[in-house]
Structure 1
Amino acid sequence: MTAHESPPATPTPAGQDGREPARVVRMQGEFDHDRLKPLEEALMDAAAAAPIVVLDASHITFGDSSFLNLLLRVHRETRLRILQPQSQFRHLMTLTGTDAVFDVRENMQDALRP
């Protein structure tokens, strides 16, 4: 399991408040209650740095209810966009109804658009 933050895919000017317009957090692996702390810190740091947080979920292989609850908390703090969630994550969102809550995007360019 790894999680790390990266700047936007293309350079963008800071907004009126001096923050970046968007921040990308890339993750891979499995995320359950025991493995969430680094991801939580990365997402909260990204939310403090930019009004839009893009979660690159293209390499998430598993997420449980604690993972989903973390994303719901982040969603309340900022404009969270989930990029390319894989089948297990999509299934989890469908089962819980959060597919109607989260802003899912299929490509980075669309995810970074204001």
Structure 2
Amino acid sequence: MSEAETTRTEHAAQAGHLSAVTTATDGIRVLTLAGEIDHHTGDTLRQALDASGTPRPRVVVDMRQVTFMDSSGINILITAHRALGEAGGWLRLAAVGETVMRTLGIVGVDTLIDCRETLRHALTD
């Protein structure tokens, strides 16, 4: 993936301890998160995942800098997964850290939402 293929489309402001930056690569929205996903920061994630009005939205969430996620983050991801699927698109998680991946595995989200080892893998079919 070359530098020319990646374009920055927006910055989301930091809320609490979570920042979200959205870029686009080959027509795929890439949401890069850093910090903690919990009740206090969930709105930042919810807003960044909103793809309403986009036909067949494809979204990859780069989670390599997410250090914590509670049940509110899990619920937001499941809701986004369903909404994107209903719109003919998909949601993938990339580079999920060990602690967060353990949480996703315990509740079974890793069997519902496609989780890829790296961002590069998540951007390819």
Task: Judge same fold: TM > 0.5, yes or no.
Answer: yes
Matched to 1:90, the amino acid is M
Tell me which residue corresponds to 1:84: 95
Tell me which residue corresponds to 2:115: 104
Structure 2, unpaired ranges of 5+: 1-17, 85-89
- Aligned length in residues: 103
Tell me if the contact between 2:38 and 2:70 (Cα under 8 Å) persists in the aligned partners.
Answer: yes
Matched to 1:29, the amino acid is G
1:52-105 alpha-carbon deviations (Å, 9 max, x no partner): 100000000000000000000010012110001001111111110111111011
- Structure with greater proportional strand content: 2
Superposed, 1:1-114 pairs within 5 Å as: 1-8=18-25, 12=26, 20=27, 22-45=28-51, 48=54, 51-78=57-84, 79-114=90-125
Between the aligned partners of 1:47 and 1:105, the Cα distance in structure 2 is: 26
Between the aligned partners of 1:7 and 1:72, the Cα distance in structure 2 is: 22
Tell me which residue corresponds to 2:7: none
Tell me if the contact between 1:23 and 1:49 (Cα under 8 Å) persists in the aligned partners.
Answer: no
Aligned-pair RMSD on alpha carbons? 1.9
Tell me if the contact between 1:74 and 1:80 (Cα under 8 Å) persists in the aligned partners.
Answer: yes
Query: Shift of the alpha carbon at 1:113?
Result: 2.1
Matched to 2:64, the amino acid is S
Flag the structure with more relative contact order, 1 or 2, with Cα contacts below 8 A and sequence separation at least 6. 1
Between the aligned partners of 2:106 and 2:53, the Cα distance in structure 1 is: 26
Query: Shift of the alpha carbon at 1:108?
Result: 2.4
Between the aligned partners of 2:51 and 2:21, the Cα distance in structure 1 is: 11
- Structure with greater proportional helix content: 1
Q: TM-score, normalised by structure 1?
A: 0.81
Gap change, CA 1:72 and 1:52, over 3 Å in 2: same
Structure 1, unpaired ranges of 5+: 13-19
